[in-house]
Amino acid sequence: MRAVLLADLEQGARALLARPDCDWPDLAAMMIAQAHLADKYRKRTGRVHPDWGNGTLHDRAIRLPRAPIRYPTPEGFHHALSVLLQTYIASRHQNR
């Protein structure tokens, strides 16, 4: 997967916020895994993956339903960011 920047985290958190929080860990893992595979696809073919984007978490997340920019609560957004970051860090350790 390409480098994770602040915009990736914001869009990923918005995708999580569009779903019940019990779905967040699985959705975060799915987005990260699919962004990783999309990046491999892009490198191999020179094209953007038709469903998962260009290999960034941002591009994967914007292809999913997302919460509006005016988040329900700052705490909810912070919780979504926390779940996303914990999942990302865990995936980085698994891929070493």
DSSP of 20-82, one letter per residue?
-GGGHHHHHHHHHHHHHHHHHHHHHHSS-BTTTBSS-HHHHHTTS----SS-S-HHHHHHHHH
- Provide the pLDDT confidence category of residue 70 given band limits of 50, 70 and 90: confident
Structure tokens at 78: 């912070």
pTM for the whole thing?
A: 0.92
The confidence score (pLDDT) of residue 69 equals 82
What sign does the dihedral 66-69-73-76 (CA atoms) show? Answer: positive
The confidence score (pLDDT) of residue 42 equals 98
| One-letter amino acid of 10 | E
CA pair distance 58, 43, nearest whole angstrom: 17
- At residue 59, the 3 state secondary structure works out as helix
- Provide the pLDDT confidence category of residue 30 given band limits of 50, 70 and 90: very high
Once rounded to an integer, what is the mean pLDDT over residues 19-34?
Answer: 98
Residue in the block written with tokens 């987005």? 31
The confidence score (pLDDT) of residue 93 equals 86
